[in-house]
Amino acid sequence: MAKASAKIPACSFCGMPQSDNQLLLAGHNAYICESCVQKAYEIVVTDKQHHNKQKPPYSEDIKALTPKEIKKYLDEYVIGQDEAKKILSVAVYNHYKRVFNKTKISHKQENNVELEKSNILLIGETGTGKTLLAKTIARLLNVPFCIADATAITEAGYVGEDVETILTRLLQAADYDVKAAEKGIVFIDEIDKIARKSGDNPSITKDVGGEGVQQALLKILEGADVFVPPQGGRKHPEQQMIRINTRNILFICGGAFVGLDKIISSRININVIGFKGKASEEIDKNNLLPFVTSHDLKTYGLIPELLGRLPVIATLESLSKDALKRILLEPKNALIKQYIYLFALDNIQLSFEEEVFDLMVDTAIELKLGARGLRSICETIMTDLMFELPKKNEKPIEYTITKEYAEKKLHKLKLKTQSIKKSI
């Protein structure tokens, strides 16, 4: 009698029989094909990502911080600007103390006190650290953070972005977790660019990016329920909206306010005209921003309603040569440390002559690039080295950047800058 033919193995999950093109893994009285293995792997990875999500941004850690601890953390990443860091630390501390009701008040009458939100206005020249301060604060607090550019915002109905798109970016940074977004930080850069145009030079066109934008910003700065398009762009009737309450969102606005020093100078000169007193001797004519008042900002073009919603004003000082050199070398993420690490990944031990740092700083001051310009100066010096030095299977080498080499590279940068200024 002939024996029955052996049964062809098949996947225990999908039932796919074994074939020449399909791998079948055998287990204890079970089989699984490669397609099911791939699907199972994807399910496991997705599940792990879901369970290993970052802790909620509004965790208890925020409540444990004090203003001194916040400033100490800022000192590790931001050089100088002690007064601005102190003001910012206190404002952020008070904001999240208000959000989480950190203090326990014993008197029943005081429990009815409603704390107002205190948004922040940072004023300082380009490259002084406005954006860096906001980024560092958000990283410390572990809250959703986004940067918005005020110059891209226009009044409703015009080409550009609505103010609600600012909150769309925050929502995206919070991975569409509305509760997390409602306790985040928004940095609105270039706030000075939406200043109301002066009445002395009336424009023949409507100021769609000026006072109207300031008026539109009022409701989100104050605290209101705002309907936000999840993907950004203009709002449409058929588009599904997400409601966000901005009452507990901290807004930090920053701007260079070019020409504000002239307004301050005019006001101070009027007050001390005709005599020379101690007040005039104590004023540094090259650094007038610390003497700014709300009246000066109103004269500049910010409407009083907007200023009322930005009660905390911090000014950033121009960076000195010593401060720029410290920025190059001292912070945890200092530029020089970054380049040394980059070269070390290629088995190259990079070092610098001390004069090279002074040359970089002098170039930044000469070209008026600020701290942000130090990166472009470093790139100008390093690019050729990063192209030539890395080699495969090479023994560790040492390379020192000399002052002569840096001068040769920076000479081209200075020539480019001079030619640009002449064309302007």
Query: Where in the chain do CATH 3.40.50.300 domains reside?
Result: 62-101+117-195+208-315
Q: Which of 25-29, 65-69, 289-293, 363-367 has the lowest mean pLDDT?
A: 25-29
* Domain 62-101+117-195+208-315 grouped into CATH 3.40.50.300: yes
* pLDDT one-digit tens code per residue, 127-141: 788 888 988 988 888
Say what the pLDDT of residue 423 is: 46
Highest mean pLDDT among 23-37, 200-214, 351-365: 351-365
> Which CATH number is 321-423 given?
1.10.8.60
Task: Please answer whether residues 359 and 404 qualify as being in contact, where contact means their C-beta atoms are separated by less than 8 angstroms.
Answer: no
pTM: 0.72
Say what the pLDDT of residue 122 is: 93
* Mean pLDDT for the chain overall: 79
SS in 3 state form for 105-153? CCCCHHHHCCCCCCCEEEECCCCCCHHHHHHHHHHHHCCCEEEEEHHHE
Say what the pLDDT of residue 63 is: 58
Angle at 252 between CA 90 and CA 110, to 5 degrees: 45
- Is a pLDDT exceeding 80 seen at residue 77? yes
Tell me which H or E stretch contains 397.
strand 397-401
Say what the pLDDT of residue 284 is: 63
Per-residue confidence at 402, pLDDT binned at 50, 70, 90? very high
- Is a pLDDT exceeding 70 seen at residue 208? no
* pLDDT one-digit tens code per residue, 217-240: 898 998 888 888 877 655 555 567
Task: Please answer whether residues 244 and 225 qualify as being in contact, where contact means their C-beta atoms are separated by less than 8 angstroms.
Answer: yes
Share of the chain above pLDDT 90, in %: 24
Query: Where in the chain do CATH 1.10.8.60 domains reside?
Result: 321-423
Q: Which of 82-96, 123-137, 220-234, 397-411 has the lowest mean pLDDT?
A: 220-234
**CA distance linking residue 93 with residue 118, whole number of Å:** 11
Per-residue confidence at 62, pLDDT binned at 50, 70, 90? low
* pLDDT one-digit tens code per residue, 117-126: 889 999 988 8
Say what the pLDDT of residue 138 is: 86
Q: Which of 12-21, 108-117, 409-418 has the lowest mean pLDDT?
A: 108-117
**CA distance linking residue 97 with residue 100, whole number of Å:** 5
**CA distance linking residue 111 with residue 113, whole number of Å:** 5
